[in-house]
Amino acid sequence: MEVVDQEGRTLTFSIGPQHPGSGHFRLIVKVDGDFIVDVKPDPGYVHRGAEKMCEERTYIQNIPHLERPVIFDSSGILFPYVLAVEELLGVQAPPRAQYIRIIMAELNRIISHLYWLAIYGIFLGHSTMFMWPMGDRELFIDLAEAIGGTRVTFSYFVPGGVRNDLPPGFKERALKTFSYYEKRLEEYDKIFFSNPMFLKRTQGIGVLKREDAIRLGVTGPNLRASGISSDTRKDEPYSSYETIKWDIPVRKEGDCYARSMVRFQELFDSLNIMRQALDLIPEGSVKIPMRGQIKGKVGESFARTEAARGTMFYHIISDGATHPYRVKISVPSFRSLSAMPFLLKGNHLADMPAIYWGLDYWPVEADK
Amino acid sequence: MDTFEEFLKRVITIAFWLLLLGPVIVLPIILLVLPQFGVPVEVANRFLIALINPLGMLQFIDSLGLGPSSLFFKIAAFPGFTFAALFATLVILYERKLLAKMQNRVGPLYAGRFEGILQPIAELFKLIFKELLTPEKADKPFFWAVPFLAIAVGGAFLALIPLSPEIYIAKSEIGLVIIFAILSFTPLIVLTAGWASANKFSFIGGLRALHQLVSYEIPLILSTIGVVMLSGSLDLMKIVQAQASMWFILPQFIGAAVFFVTMLAELERIPFDLPEADSELVAGWYTEYSGMHFGALQLANYIKLYGFSVLFTLLFLGGWNGPAILPPLAWLFMKLFIVISFILVIRGTNTRIRIDQLIKLGWVYLIPLAFANIFIALAVASLGIV
């Protein structure tokens, strides 16, 4: 609906940074009756200078703090970093390490999507859909903990491979969890995704058309929900993703429902990818042995991967020292931010949580 | 303070000492000092006898007009306010345990020895000890009046609802009309709360509640007209008597469905809890209320939940009618349990609806359905089925 900003008819208030529906982030919203006239996002409350911190630390020391902006998807934000550093070093991870990285990245994608789903449920007032994914997320956290040693921030990927091999008996345990979880996903579908109340709240809400999605530069599931078949894992395969077969979930509608269904479908796809990776995984070492401080050659390197929220991109400049000269991180959440005011304007105030969290915007990631 | 139980022990100890010290100080005053000021000795003696002899105590209370058969007892204790408040706390506990089981959780577990049974009491103490914050720019008299008014409306609502042929507070030929008249105060209270809080979220929540309550009162009243036509009375006693052979939910199924949906909207429960939608409005019109103010508003809401569930049982489920193997009150509470469980399960399985969808649902679907229901009642009555 078209709305006009008329003097004396509007009410301005800020949602956040201390609000149950905002996160570390503020939206200055202007409403006319029940309709949103204007929205000004105000990010930056949790900026910690992750890029600047990289310049003061060695390549290995950078690993733990780079995970912090997105602890639910810690492997997702670390993946392109290790790929870019490996490019600077001129090495490539051994095949076994590449498949282990796939498994870890997909586990993290599921953990991140389940967190998103839980918050989406409670934002729409569905308390059961808050509790179920939060509880089932523990299954995958347990699996990731068996590999990485900690619950969320694993610091598991290192330049030249991964820190340690898979634990014994991991494959059987993982397959058991996957087959149990596929049954749970059907229950999710029954109680939430097929619920007529959910359809009423999301279908046709916050429509991001194909050309708008390209113009505003959203990535990942948000882009795929607008009818564009784009996935870095397929377009520019890295880390042996080219050996794995799956279909990119694409929907044409571009509304909140499409965005949530793409993410829901990706849960199935991630299970599928991990099953194939567990079958294809070869024997061998998991890490190229390196002695002393790592020093990159003078030059630049780029790496692009598909994190849970979209395309994660790193640009590292090295001057040959033990620490990088400059690290630039391009995060998917910041790209969703540009679409947010565009989608919110003209909608009902009650659609604000559905659109805002439907984009899977994570303030800490955007602020870096 | 280590645990809740230790705290309870301390409270009991204080009460014990107060009770012990009371006679030592109060009795001499009554027996020695008061006669000096011209109070007859009989009054003082009667009080003393009452203290020693419990039966005498009952007589003493009766003589003051506060006995179990008095109106005061009915209003204050059973089946009035205290009973409803206790029932409401039980419903809160049941709601939390049931939702927890639906969501693969355990729910309240630690307060009390068995399954967190003392959790509502622990929460009550928590709310009592919290500070009552009033916003600086709030309209203070109105802000403070709202919790009391909400409780008053909830309590007045109960006064007209009988629990069995013997247990009732007030009986009226036009009981149903009075109930709806009392309920129509609620939008006023909610709007006052939203306006007096001087908070934008409260204000939007109050306006939403106003829209919701006003537009849903119409289908609520219309859906009961069928029942009134079939029973030929506005008196809830007679409505229940008329259902001795058949419950009205069978010929009046549409009416019962409309009443149930509007009941959820009037109670501001999921899927119609948008006046307090926490994801965009913090807590709606409750936002600025803290401590026991908030507790009172919640209590009023749960008393209304109890009242509405009883009303649904009386109007559509035959009230206390049932085979004589159980007393009437037992039948009523069994039906009540089913109705309340149904309300709670809906809370666990649905998302919140949007305000425009809610208004549309009310005016476009529920009101025509309620009218259709009236014609069904007319047909049923003229065919002589009931």
Total-model pTM: 0.85
Q: Residue B199's closest chain A neighbor by CA? A: A13
What distance in Å separates residue B348's CA from the closest CA in chain A?
6
What does the alpha-carbon distance between residue B345 and residue A267 come to, in Å, rounded to a whole number?
27
The reply to whether residue A21 touches residue B271, judged by beta carbons under 8 angstroms, is no
What distance in Å separates residue B15's CA from the closest CA in chain A?
41
Instruction: Give residue-wise pLDDT tens across range A52-70.
Output: 998 888 888 889 888 888 8
ipTM summary value: 0.81
What does the alpha-carbon distance between residue B309 and residue B19 come to, in Å, rounded to a whole number?
40
Chain A residues with CB under 8 Å of a chain B CB are 11, 13, 15, 19-21, 31, 34, 121-128, 130-132, 135, 191-192, 195, 197-198, 200-201, 348-353
What does the alpha-carbon distance between residue A290 and residue A83 come to, in Å, rounded to a whole number?
16
What does the alpha-carbon distance between residue B119 and residue B132 come to, in Å, rounded to a whole number?
22
Q: Is A202 exposed, middle or buried (0-12, 13-18, 19+ CB in 10 A)?
A: buried
Query: Across the beta sheet with A11-15, what order do the strands follow?
Result: A11-15, A26-32, A35-42
Question: What is the predicted pLDDT for the residue at A236?
Answer: 87
In the chain, the amino acid numbered A226 is: S
- Alpha-carbon torsion A267, A256, B364, A126, what sign? positive
Q: Residue A31's closest chain B neighbor by CA? A: B204
What does the alpha-carbon distance between residue A221 and residue A202 come to, in Å, rounded to a whole number?
16
Residues of B in contact with A26 (CB under 8 A): none
Tokens 């809740």: give the residue: B4
B347 touches chain A (CB under 8 A): yes
CATH 3.20.20.450 is held by the domain A57-331: no
What does the alpha-carbon distance between residue A49 and residue A66 come to, in Å, rounded to a whole number?
10
User: Which ranges of chain B have pLDDT less than 50?
Assistant: none
Question: What is the predicted pLDDT for the residue at B2?
Answer: 65
User: Which ranges of chain A have pLDDT less than 70?
Assistant: 1-7, 20
How far is CA A360 from each of CA A350, B3, B204, rounded to the nearest angstrom?
Answer: 17, 41, 26
Q: Residue A198's closest chain B neighbor by CA? A: B351
Length of chain B: 386
Instruction: Give residue-wise pLDDT tens across range A255-273.
Output: 899 999 999 999 999 999 9
Q: Residue A127's closest chain B neighbor by CA? A: B348
Task: Check residue B296 and report its DSSP letter.
Answer: H
Question: What is the predicted pLDDT for the residue at B8?
Answer: 83
What distance in Å separates residue B70's CA from the closest CA in chain A?
45
The reply to whether residue A128 touches residue B102, judged by beta carbons under 8 angstroms, is yes
Question: What is the predicted pLDDT for the residue at A347?
Answer: 87
Instruction: Please check whether residue B201 is in contact with residue B193, taking contact to mean a CB–CB distance below 8 angstroms.
Output: no
The reply to whether residue B278 touches residue A20, judged by beta carbons under 8 angstroms, is yes
* 3-class SS letters over chain A: CCCCCCCCCCEEEEECCCCCCCCCCEEEEEEECCEEEEEEEECCCCCCCHHHHHHHCCCCCHHHHHHHHHHHHHHHHHHHHHHHHHHHHCCCCCHHHHHHHHHHHHHHHHHHHHHHHHHHHHHCCCHHHHHHHHHHHHHHHHHHHHHHCCCCCCCCEECCEECCCCCCCHHHHHHHHHHHHHHHHHHHHHHHHCCHHHHHHHCCCCCCCHHHHHHHCCCCHHHHHCCCCCCHHHHCCCCCHHHCCCCCCCCCCCCHHHHHHHHHHHHHHHHHHHHHHHHHCCCCCCECCCCCCCCCCCEEEEEEEECCCCEEEEEEEECCCCCCCEEEEECHHHHHHHHHHHHHCCCEHHHHHHHHHHCCCCHHHHHC
B357 touches chain A (CB under 8 A): yes
Mutate to test the interface with B, among A13, A127, A191 (most CBs of B within 10 A): A127
The reply to whether residue B204 touches residue A349, judged by beta carbons under 8 angstroms, is yes
Nearest-CA neighbor of A104 among A151, A148, A163? A148
The reply to whether residue A19 touches residue B273, judged by beta carbons under 8 angstroms, is no
B354 touches chain A (CB under 8 A): yes
Question: What is the predicted pLDDT for the residue at A6?
Answer: 67
How far is CA B134 from each of CA A88, B124, B137, B142, B199, rounded to the nearest angstrom?
Answer: 61, 20, 8, 11, 11
Residues of A in contact with B277 (CB under 8 A): 125, 350
Question: What is the predicted pLDDT for the residue at B23?
Answer: 72
What distance in Å separates residue B98's CA from the closest CA in chain A?
11
Question: What is the predicted pLDDT for the residue at A177?
Answer: 92
Residues of B in contact with A34 (CB under 8 A): 355-356
What does the alpha-carbon distance between residue A310 and residue A68 come to, in Å, rounded to a whole number?
17
The reply to whether residue B103 touches residue A19, judged by beta carbons under 8 angstroms, is no
The interface residues of chain B toward chain A in range 86-145, judged by CB-CB distance below 8 A, are 99, 102-105
Residues of B in contact with A125 (CB under 8 A): 270-271, 273, 277, 279, 350-352
Contacts of residues A265-272 at CB distance under 8 Å and 24 or more positions apart, as own/partner, are: A266/A109, A266/A113, A266/A221, A267/A110, A267/A113, A267/A114, A267/A185, A268/A182, A268/A185, A270/A106, A270/A107, A270/A109, A270/A110, A270/A113, A271/A106, A271/A110, A271/A178, A271/A181, A271/A182, A272/A246
Question: What is the predicted pLDDT for the residue at A43?
Answer: 86
B200 touches chain A (CB under 8 A): yes
Question: What is the predicted pLDDT for the residue at B133?
Answer: 84
In chain A, the N- to C-terminal Cα span, in Å, equals 35
